[in-house]
């Protein structure tokens, strides 16, 4: 199993530790406001950027600067802990630039077809909390020079399916004080937005009360 973050379940650990920390300071008015909301709509934008992403299916010498974007829209029941109706999701094509060999001074590889970093196939409830995404990563077919500058070797493309855990941050985190926010998690109560960062991913959650 994988997560939408480079370190396994890192964002979930961040959210859980802050929500349960006695030291963390919360605006109680904001906490109580959201405590009365049973169903919350989450409009989520995930943006990926990593200049050192492996994009070719074979070997370890096909790296590139990759950007990707995924969007989700769902209603979550705070009381029961789960989706209300199906989640909607949308993917965007990955953008790949600066294809290079992983070894300094070696000839760059070439790719024959598009690389797709993150495509959502299905969204389901995750036992306990959060959501489980079924995703697929499409590694590109390409030509990689043998032994740095030798004749190019062909590698076929490959589809890699993964189960990805997506954190659903509690609305109470909107009451988190600025001093308890950091680069990993920030709350913006004026816009009802929570931002979680880890590895190459930045996930922005826009929250509204759902009927």
Cα separation, 54 vs 50, whole angstroms: 10
Longest dimension (CA), the chain: 66
Predicted local confidence at residue 23, as pLDDT: 55
> How many Cβ atoms sit within 10 Å of the Cβ of residue 29?
9
The tokens of 86 are what? 């199906």
Beta strand extents in the chain (DSSP E only): 2-3, 39-54, 63-77, 82-83, 88-91, 95-100, 110-111, 116-125, 131-139, 142-145, 152-155, 158-166, 185-188, 193-198, 201-209
Reported as a pLDDT band with limits 50, 70 and 90, residue 3 is: very low
Tokens of 49: 């950027």
pLDDT tens, 105-139? 888 899 988 999 999 999 999 877 789 999 999 99
pLDDT in tens, 18-75: 454 445 677 888 988 898 899 999 999 999 999 999 999 876 789 999 999 999 999 9
pLDDT tens by residue, 11-32: 444 445 445 444 567 788 898 8
Domain boundaries, the chain: 2-209
């Amino acid at each position: 199993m994988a997560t939408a973050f480079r370190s396994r379940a890192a964002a979930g650990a961040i959210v859980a530790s802050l929500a349960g920390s006695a030291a963390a300071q919360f605006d109680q008015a904001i906490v109580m406001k959201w405590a009365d909301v049973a169903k919350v709509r989450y409009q989520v934008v995930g943006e990926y950027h990593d200049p050192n992403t492996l994009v070719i299916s074979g070997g370890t010498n096909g790296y590139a600067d990759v950007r990707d974007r995924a969007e989700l829209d769902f209603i979550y029941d705070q009381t029961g802990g789960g989706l209300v109706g199906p989640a909607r999701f949308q993917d965007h094509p990955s953008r790949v630039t600066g294809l290079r060999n992983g070894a300094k001074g070696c000839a760059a590889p070439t790719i024959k077809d598009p690389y797709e970093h993150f495509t959502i196939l299905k969204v389901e409830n995750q036992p306990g909390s959060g959501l489980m995404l079924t995703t697929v990563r499409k590694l590109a077919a390409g030509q990689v020079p043998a032994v740095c500058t030798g004749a190019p070797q062909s590698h076929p493309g490959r589809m890699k399916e993964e189960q990805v855990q997506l954190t659903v941050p509690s609305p109470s985190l909107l009451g988190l004080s600025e001093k308890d926010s950091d680069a990993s998690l920030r709350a913006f109560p004026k816009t009802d937005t929570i931002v979680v960062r880890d590895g190459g991913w930045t996930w922005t959650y826009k929250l509204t009360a759902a009927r």
